[in-house]
Chains A and B, each alone.
Chain A
């Protein structure tokens, strides 16, 4: 299909001080092609994207675009040439209307334009990205995160780009919003646009990409047709070795006495009080899309989100944590989905991060015990395969995967009996992901109860021993190990009441 290449980069080198981000890497994309760009964290994906988009000008190598040698001096220059990037972080102005955001740059519309005119002009672009049902006059922050991502793409399309780069567009999205993005990418391809699709989600790569370029340690592998590969061979290319099965094996669990009974928990975002049990030695999955209320439930159990009512029956007492401290004291750990917000002290040493929840236990009479702290944090670092030599470094210098391991690993210091984890592997590369799954499984085998909430359908299908599903703040059902398939889970979390009439089994292929 790509007889003539639209964009070709060869022999690209880029170093940041001592770190060589790209080593004679190559990249190409043809007209009307969807090219997947995958690799572990730190493999050089974002550097490559920045170079293509004109954000990074300090590289060496050949850059051909549309048959000419180019070296864009700025993102604006690249955009004028027809290369547009949708960044991972949204760059919309939340308080302005959708139409105003689409024409933020001010080109393609008259100098003085009424809101109505803007709305009329914005409509075709919204239809293009599958948001035809949305009123362009609506304020942007009233839309869901997924819809906002689509608006961002609509804004880029308004400039009529030839190449569209999507950097992890579905990282923060639930299943339905992700499907919208994928549909939109397919439509763009039909209209002859080229799309560079960067993602950690390998299932998406296989669903939409024509060819895939793999980056590993800054070196590129020759692009391969997606149909010639399967998930295992792709992961092997990314890691350089075979991963085996990413998810640890599950064994049947005898559930006798629950360690924790949740009764009538009712946080915001949940329509009616929720009750369920958690048993020791199991990994319980809370399945649901973004906005289904699963993160609020975990937060309320840990005391970090307010609940209108309810109690936890735990360890012979009934209580409701009103702040995280109450839960931590009882051995209930909560790892939130946003490690940069409340999971890590980025500017502090890794050691202090790992010991943060247990300062009281490693000190006597208010004095820190340095030897004890070093011993316990070293032990936990080794468990999470973080190099103990790095303990004095700031947590902020770690890669995303290692940061997540520290954010999770800090809870081992309180020897928790219940561990609540929201999105255990968001923004984490495949290698670290497998390690985190294995650690969670080990903790469960050692007797802890683990509750995982995830919007990643593969993860929620393959990690837990049991699943409770949620849809828009309503508890839908419970699935035992034997009945946990992606199709049955998807049905429960996207369309439990069969309102949409979409054949779910087909989508879950």
Chain B
């Protein structure tokens, strides 16, 4: 993941360019890591099968979509939203409650509901959830944009959203009956046996990357993130930027909540705190992915492509360890090591690539 940014196209071959652009330490670390990874990949039974590759990408999808949303916040220089899992918790409660609400059943009272009736129910619940997510994002974005510290604002917001979600659901599991209108998103597949959530992950990753590269908004994200004062001086204010980016992150979190709820036909505020991923904590997991992808924590440098690769990378390591029978403690340790490792490598790479300031 470190070869993507060699900029000058002189008449050097690939290896010469790498040797010019990166220090021996970086090359050694990345090389060592690749060797370990490839050895693990070939020595682990069933790792390099089409079925397992699909599993890896499907596992990466949910955290990956959330991380892509969060990448916008990080790139724009507004640090992280520490409330990702609470936004998802509030969203999933909202979605499941509306899916099961009596007034939201649009089919005939007797017998099996029709597909269009199920979709109608889904659309109402989905739209309402997205509206709530937009509001949560806008509130946080506005406070950050006005100069609030992102850590303080989003920690406060996290408590607020979790509290509302918990109160609303009486801290109980909210479930709804199958068949329901979210099954296609949670467990269905339209294209062969590729899960729809995987397709959604790929589409979102591509759209996000194209947005960052080729739209005015994407350029503004980078500029404001690289230097907020210079951004303001050239007519790009952080206020609007923070709101937009927080809404993107928030909507991505809500989308993941909807998809996850579609898988399990239920919701609980703790789904994203205790029963998700190897480390259990969705916010930490998502931040880890953004970091492992090599996005600058100060903003202005990185991409959602890096985040997507980071998600797949963490997921494949996790998968490899599962296949080798490691328990969750060891897997959390591995994720932690990867974060430390990637921070060191990317710090070295960046120091090497820049003139002394």
A interface with B by C-beta (< 8 Å): 304, 323-325, 328-329, 334, 336, 340-349, 352, 356-357, 359-360, 363, 366-368, 370, 392-394, 396-398, 410
Q: Which residues of B contact A393 (CB under 8 A)?
A: 7-8
Can you name the residue of chain B whose Cβ is closest to the Cβ of A304?
B233
B230 touches A366 (CB 8 A): no
CB of A359 within 8 A of CB of B220, answer yes
Interface residues of B (CB under 8 A from A): 7-8, 214-220, 222-223, 226-227, 229-237, 296, 300-301, 353-355, 357
Contact assessment for B235 and A329 in the assembled complex, using a CB-CB cutoff below 8 Å: yes
How long is the Cα–Cα vector from A342 to B355 in the complex, in angstroms? 19
B47 to chain A, nearest CB (A): 38
A358 to B233, CA, bound (A): 12
Are B216 and A324 in touch, CB under 8 angstroms? no
Contact B230 A345 (CB under 8 A): yes
- Is A348's CB under 8 angstroms from B229's CB? no
Is B230 a contact of A343 with CB atoms below 8 Å?
A: yes
Return the contact of B216 from the options A347, A349, A363 (Cβ within 8 A): A363
Q: A397 contacts which chain B residues (CB < 8 A)?
A: 354-355
CB distance from B258 to the nearest CB of A (A): 27
Query: Within the complex, what minimum Cβ distance (angstroms) separates A331 from chain B?
Result: 12
A188–B232 Cα gap in the complex (Å)?
A: 45
Nearest A residue (CB) for B350: A347
> Which chain B residue has the least Cβ–Cβ distance from A326?
B235
Query: Which interface residue of A340, A359, A366, A410 has the most chain B CB atoms within 10 A?
Result: A359
A254–B247 alpha-carbon span in the complex (Å): 54
**Which of A329, A346, A398 lies at the interface centre, i.e. has the most chain B CB atoms within 10 A of its CB?**
A346
Which of B223, B233, B235, B236 sits near A348, CB closer than 8 Å? B223
Chain A CB within 10 A, most for which of B8, B355, B357: B355
Q: How far is the CA of A165 from the CA of B324 in the complex (A)?
A: 64
By the criterion CB–CB under 8 Å, are A366 and B301 in contact? Answer: no
Contact status B227-A360, CB under 8 Å: no
Q: Assess whether B232 is in contact with A356, with CB atoms less than 8 Å apart.
A: no
B76: min CB distance to chain A, Å: 13
Name the one of A324, A340, A363 contacting B232, with C-beta atoms under 8 angstroms. A324
Q: Which residue of A lies closest to B230 (CB)?
A: A342
**Closest 7 CB pairs between A and B?**
A342-B229, A397-B355, A325-B235, A345-B226, A356-B234, A328-B235, A342-B233
Residues of B within 8 A of A344 (CB): 227, 230
> Quick check: B214 and A347 within 8 Å, CB to CB?
no
Q: Is the CB of A347 within 8 A of B232?
A: no
Kindly list chain A residues whose C-beta atoms are within 8 Å of the C-beta of B8.
392-393
CA distance in complex: A323, B236 (Å): 10
Q: Check B214–A367 contact: CB distance below 8 A.
A: yes
Minimum CB–CB distance from B227 to chain A (whole Å) comes to 5
Given A342-B227, A348-B226, A396-B355, also A410-B234 (CB < 8 A)? yes
Bound-state CA distance A342–B228 (Å) is 8
A368–B236 alpha-carbon span in the complex (Å): 15
Q: List residues of chain B with CB within 8 A of the CB of A392.
A: 7-8
Q: B233 contacts A360, CB within 8 Å?
A: no
* 25 A-B pairs whose Cβ atoms sit less than 8 Å apart in the complex: A304-B232, A324-B233, A325-B237, A336-B233, A340-B357, A342-B233, A343-B233, A345-B226, A345-B230, A345-B300, A352-B219, A356-B223, A356-B234, A356-B236, A357-B235, A360-B216, A366-B215, A366-B216, A367-B216, A368-B216, A368-B218, A370-B214, A392-B7, A394-B353, A410-B234
Q: Which of B216, B227, B230, B353 contacts A359 (CB 8 A)?
A: B216
Q: How far is the CA of A257 from the CA of B236 in the complex (A)?
A: 32
The smallest C-beta distance from A371 to any residue of chain B, in angstroms, reads 12
Given contacts A345-B230, A367-B215, whether A324 and B223 have CB atoms under 8 Å apart is no
Chain A residue nearest in CB terms to B296:
A347
Q: How many whole Å from B316's CB to the nearest CB in chain A?
A: 30
Contacts A368-B214, A396-B355 given; 17 further ones with Cβ under 8 A?
A324-B233, A340-B357, A342-B233, A347-B300, A348-B223, A352-B219, A352-B222, A356-B234, A356-B236, A357-B234, A359-B220, A359-B236, A367-B216, A368-B216, A394-B354, A396-B354, A397-B354
What's the nearest-Cβ distance from chain B to residue A442, in Å? 22
List of A residues within 8 angstroms of B353 by Cβ: 394
For B7, B215, B230, B236, the residue with the greatest tally of chain A CB atoms inside 10 Å of its CB is: B230
Asked if A345 meets B355 with Cβ closer than 8 Å, knowing A352-B219, A357-B234, the reply is: no
| Closest A residue, CB atoms, query B9 | A392
Residue in A336, A344, A368 with the greatest tally of chain B CB atoms within 10 Å: A368
Is the beta-carbon distance between B227 and A346 smaller than 8 angstroms? yes
Chain A residues, CB < 8 A from B301 = 347
**Do B219 and A323 have beta carbons less than 8 Å apart?**
no
B226 touches A346 (CB 8 A): yes
